[in-house]
């Protein structure tokens, strides 16, 4: 596992440093691994003693602190002592060539830092190397550290920034830091390593340093190392100090994960969100207890910090999200959180109140105003409701989940009408493309006994007093009235007879009462229903100027049928007449040989005269009378007698002529 048996960095660098060591295949590692309490950290540091000269024929010594990160990347920093003098690359990265090279002398320490990107399995060196004497004289203690901040891992020698790199993650995940002395790229296990002292192994969590309260021994081999030779390089705690230990030759080689030190009180931080951990601290140490005010689980769900609940001497219970406690006993601190949901209210118009974050289960009051937004004369947008929740402009909802509410609006147009008489019903605002009905309460207004004002149209556009309008724009219509006079219609036949129609039409509308109000000016009258026949007046256009009577002449005739024999003598038979409306009338001819039919529309009459078994047909149109001549039986007998007489006389004359001969 790379977290324990690591330093490809020293491996790779040592490959550059060694000449003629093709058979060197051992990487001996001895040191300390922190307890698992220090996982999910954002960096680590340790103080390392500078010890030289070291006598090396093969490989190199390295003393460093390093860690595998959450995504598999690796970072380390420390110093190394080579076995050769020469130029070595520095400022190297995967995406560019190394920026330079430095001279490193045999047996002299130089700082280095190195990293492996996540998923990188190459044998390349990425990082930088310092010059000789960059870590101070023999016996100097320097702090080597790496910390995550603002998207990068920053590497420090004491307080000096010596490098930075983006490794794609901000924490170590389940991994913890390791601190090793390493004999890298070796072909033996008996090269003497002068013991080097390490102290103050520390991790960083959310920028807060925590000294490692428990350290475990680790003695093993680096990745890819042969393991035939025993690793005889040991590690031990430097008594009576805590978090101080030595690595090198001649030291104990305890079983791995032997506790080297453990001290202090335990602080356990419970939190469903944000910072949490369980670690040991020096007695009476100060600890900054901090949680963010909000943690966003999504765009519309978050947790709000509402306080700490602590137990133990020195613990804190209160609402501050950032406070300092003194660890005077084992302490448990529990962060209290409140789930909040976003009630997001959107509207294309008006002003909405109540949109925002609400604790789970609380009541949100949401309102909107104004309810009508003008878009010009006679047009507006009207508030229709909040989604499918309510049409009211103020609603109260229980927020138990993220809520999106949209204010609904409808385009409306003003449809209105005015009238000089009575009232207009139906005026008002209508939704776009709906139907409006405007209607007049009065279509006429009496001025006096013979004069009225009569509705003509709406702005000379609509003739009906009740109209249907599709609301695609605004309308403001005016009812127009005109003067009408009281007139009595007097229909007459061609013969001057007064007629009584059952129905007549005036300006296209049917009427039964012959007395009515007519508009001033030209009017159209007719047809008239006379005996079931529509009769068009001879004078159908009437110019009304004042009240009075109007005579209307209809093409209606009194038709008389005259029956005569061929000698002009009257015949007293029967007349059967058929009229245009389909009725049949039968009359007897009077002594004058005539029969009269009154008020015949258009004079249209057909029929026959029946006398002594003889029938003679007749027809009449647009006429007052029709004459029919018949050959009667008496005439036929007379003709026969006369014919016989003439024939007898002719035969008589012929007889006389023959006798004379």
What pLDDT digit, counting tens, does each position of 284-321 carry? 688 999 999 999 999 999 999 999 999 998 899 999 99
Identify the pLDDT of residue 2. Answer: 36
Distance (Å, whole) CA 390 – CA 620: 79
Lowest mean pLDDT among 170-184, 305-319, 363-377, 554-568: 554-568
Among 508, 635, 509, 477, which residue's Cα sits nearest to residue 564?
A: 635
210 CB burial (10 A radius; 0-12, 13-18, 19+): buried
Q: How far apart are the first and last CA of the chain?
A: 180
Exposure of 412 by Cβ count < 10 A (0-12 exposed, 13-18 middle, 19+ buried)?
Answer: buried
Residue of 164 and 540 predicted with greater confidence: 164
From 220, 241, 259, give the residue that closes a domain: 259
The predicted model gives 479-506 an average pLDDT of: 92
Distance CA 574, CA 576 (A): 7
How confident is the model over 108-129, as a mean pLDDT? Answer: 92
What per-residue confidence (pLDDT) applies to 634? 59
Out of 42-56, 177-191, 377-391, 624-638, least confident range: 624-638
Question: What was the pLDDT predicted at 655?
Answer: 74
Q: For position 12, what pLDDT does the model report?
A: 40
Q: Which two tokens mark 593? A: 């040989």
Query: Rounded to whole angstroms, how far apart are CA atoms 199 and 176?
Result: 17
Residue with tokens 């420090």: 156
Dump the DSSP string for 201-233. Answer: EEEEETTEEEE-SEEEEEEEE-TT---SS----
Task: Please tell me whether residues 230 and 279 are part of one structural domain.
Answer: no
Question: pLDDT tier at 531 (50, 70, 90 boundaries)?
Answer: confident
- Over residues 615-621, mean pLDDT: 89
On the question of pLDDT at 5 being above 80, the answer is no
Residue 539 lies in a domain: yes
Mean pLDDT, to the nearest integer, of 251-265?
90
Using a pLDDT cut of 70, give the percent of the chain over it. 94
pTM: 0.45
- Residue 425 counted as domain residue: yes
Taking CA atoms, 641 is separated from 12, 565, 614, 644, in Å, by: 164, 18, 20, 5
pLDDT of residue 449: 92
pLDDT band at 183 (very low <50, low <70, confident <90, very high): very high
Based on the number of CB atoms within 10 Å of its own CB, is 234 exposed (0-12), middle (13-18) or buried (19 or more)? buried
Do you find a cis peptide bond into 53, omega within 30 degrees of 0?
yes
Say if 281 falls within a structural domain.
Answer: yes
> Residue 175 falls within a domain, yes or no?
yes
Angstrom distance (rounded) from CA 432 to CA 414: 10
Tell me: do 378 and 494 sit in the same domain.
no
Does 274 fall in a domain?
yes
Together in a domain, 150 and 226: yes
pLDDT of residue 500: 93
Question: What pLDDT is attached to residue 228?
Answer: 93
Residue 16 has pLDDT above 50, yes or no: no
The CATH number of the domain where 150 resides is what? 2.60.120
- Residue 8 reports pLDDT greater than 70: no
Same domain, 137 and 163: yes
Asked if residue 640 belongs to a domain, the reply is no
Predicted confidence at residue 224, as pLDDT, reads 87
CATH code of the domain containing 593 = 2.60.40.1120
Tokens of 313: 């001497």
Are residues 194 and 59 both part of a single domain?
Answer: yes
Q: Do both 51 and 121 map to the same domain?
A: yes
The Cα–Cα gap between 580 and 658 comes to 66
Beta bridge partners of 195: none
Position 646 scores a pLDDT of: 81
CB-CB contact of 565 with 593 (8 Å): no
Average pLDDT over residues 446-461: 93
Q: Is residue 467 part of a domain?
A: yes
Q: Quick check: 156 pLDDT over 80?
A: yes
Q: Residue 1: its pLDDT value, please?
A: 29
Tell me: do 440 and 367 sit in the same domain: no
> Is residue 14 scored above 80 in pLDDT?
no
> Are the beta carbons of 537 and 554 closer than 8 angstroms?
yes
Rounded CA-CA distance 521/463 in Å is: 17
Question: Does residue 639 lie in a domain region?
Answer: no
Given a cut of 80, whether residue 252 has pLDDT beyond it is: yes
Task: Give me the chain's average pLDDT, please.
Answer: 90
Taking CA atoms, 11 is separated from 80, 343, 533, in Å, by 11, 57, 124
Q: Same structural domain for residues 195 and 285?
A: no
Q: What is the DSSP string of 570-616?
A: B---EEEEEETTS-EEEEE--TTSEEEEEEEETT-EEEEEEETTEEE
Shared-domain flag, residues 559 and 532: no
Q: Please check whether residues 547 and 560 belong to one and the same domain.
A: no
Residues 68, 206, single domain; the answer is: yes
| pLDDT on residue 3 | 34
Q: What is the pLDDT of residue 630?
A: 67
- Split into its structural domains, the chain has a count of 4
Contact 463, 454 (CB under 8 A): no
> For residues 102 and 129, is the Cβ–Cβ distance under 8 A?
yes
Domain stops at, among 502, 526, 552: 552
Tens-digit pLDDT profile for residues 184-215: 999 999 999 999 999 999 999 998 998 888 89
Handedness of CA 220, 224, 227, 232 (dihedral sign): negative
List the structure tokens of 567.
């000698």
Mark whether 438 and 516 lie in a shared domain. yes
Average pLDDT over residues 239-247: 89
Q: Which of 552, 584, 615 is the last residue of a domain?
A: 552
- Which range of residues forms the domain containing residue 58? 26-259
């Amino acid at each position: 596992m790379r977290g324990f048996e690591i330093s490809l960095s020293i491996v790779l660098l040592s490959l550059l440093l060694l000449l003629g060591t093709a058979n060197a295949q051992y990487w001996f590692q001895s040191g300390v691994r922190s307890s698992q309490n220090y996982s999910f950290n954002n960096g680590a540091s340790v103080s390392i003693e500078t010890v030289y000269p070291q006598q090396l024929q093969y490989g190199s010594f390295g003393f460093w602190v390093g860690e595998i990160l959450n995504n598999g990347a690796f970072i380390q920093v420390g110093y190394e002592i080579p076995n050769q003098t020469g130029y070595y690359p520095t400022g190297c990265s995967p995406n560019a060539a190394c920026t330079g090279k430095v001279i490193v002398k045999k047996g002299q320490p130089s700082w280095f830092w190195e990293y492996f990107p996540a998923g990188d399995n190459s044998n390349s060196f990425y990082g930088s190397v310092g010059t000789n004497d960059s870590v101070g004289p023999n016996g100097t203690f320097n702090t080597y550290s790496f910390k995550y901040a603002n998207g990068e891992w920053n590497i420090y020698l004491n307080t000096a920034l010596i490098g930075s790199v983006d490794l794609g993650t901000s924490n170590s995940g389940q991994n913890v830091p390791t601190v090793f002395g390493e004999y890298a790229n070796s072909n033996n296990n008996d090269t003497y390593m002068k013991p080097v002292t390490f102290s103050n192994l520390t991790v960083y969590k959310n920028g807060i340093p925590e000294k490692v309260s428990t350290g475990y021994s680790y003695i093993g081999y680096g990745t890819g190392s042969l393991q035939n030779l025993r690793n005889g390089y040991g590690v031990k705690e430097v008594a009576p100090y805590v978090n101080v230990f030595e690595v090198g030759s001649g030291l104990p080689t305890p079983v791995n994960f032997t506790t080297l030190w453990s001290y202090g009180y335990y602080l356990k931080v419970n939190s469903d969100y944000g910072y949490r951990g369980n670690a040991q601290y020096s007695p009476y140490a100060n600890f900054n207890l901090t949680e963010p005010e909000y943690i966003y689980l999504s765009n519309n769900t978050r947790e709000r910090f509402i306080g700490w609940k602590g137990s133990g001497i020195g613990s804190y219970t209160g609402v501050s999200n950032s406070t300092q406690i003194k660890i005077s006993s084992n302490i448990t601190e529990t962060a209290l959180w409140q789930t909040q949901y976003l009630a997001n209210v959107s509207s294309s118009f008006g002003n909405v109140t109540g949109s925002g974050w609400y604790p789970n289960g609380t009541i949100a009051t949401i309102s909107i105003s104004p309810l009508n937004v003008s878009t010009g004369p006679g047009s507006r947008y009207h508030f229709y409701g909040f989604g499918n929740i309510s049409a009211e402009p103020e609603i109260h909802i229980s927020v138990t989940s993220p809520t999106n509410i949209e204010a609904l609006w409808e385009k409306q147009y003003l449809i209105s009408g005015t009238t000089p008489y009575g009232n207009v019903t139906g005026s008002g605002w209508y939704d776009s493309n709906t139907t409006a009905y405007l209607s007049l309460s009065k279509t006429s207004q009496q001025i006096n006994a013979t004069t009225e004002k009569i509705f003509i149209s709406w702005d000379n556009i609509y003739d009906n007093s009740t109209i249907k309008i599709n609301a695609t724009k605004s309308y403001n219509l005016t009812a127009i009235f005109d003067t009408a006079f009281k007139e009595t219609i007097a229909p007459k036949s061609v013969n001057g007879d007064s007629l009584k129609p059952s129905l007549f039409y005036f300006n296209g509308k049917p009427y039964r009462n012959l007395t009515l109000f007519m508009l001033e000016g030209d009017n159209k009258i007719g047809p008239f229903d006379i005996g079931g026949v529509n009769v068009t007046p001879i004078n159908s256009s009437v110019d009304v100027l004042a009240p009075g009577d109007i005579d209307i002449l209809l093409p209606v005739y009194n038709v008389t049928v005259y029956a005569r024999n061929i000698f002009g003598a009257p015949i007293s038979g029967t007349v059967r007449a058929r009229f245009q409306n389909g009725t049949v009338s039968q009359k007897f001819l009077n002594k004058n040989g005539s029969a009269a039919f009154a008020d015949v529309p258009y004079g249209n009459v057909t029929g026959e005269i029946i006398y002594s078994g003889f029938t003679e047909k007749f027809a009449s149109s647009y006429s007052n009378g029709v004459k029919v001549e018949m050959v009667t039986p008496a005439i036929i007998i007379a003709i026969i007698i006369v014919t016989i007489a003439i024939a007898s006389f002719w035969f008589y004359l012929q007889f006389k002529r023959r006798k004379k001969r």
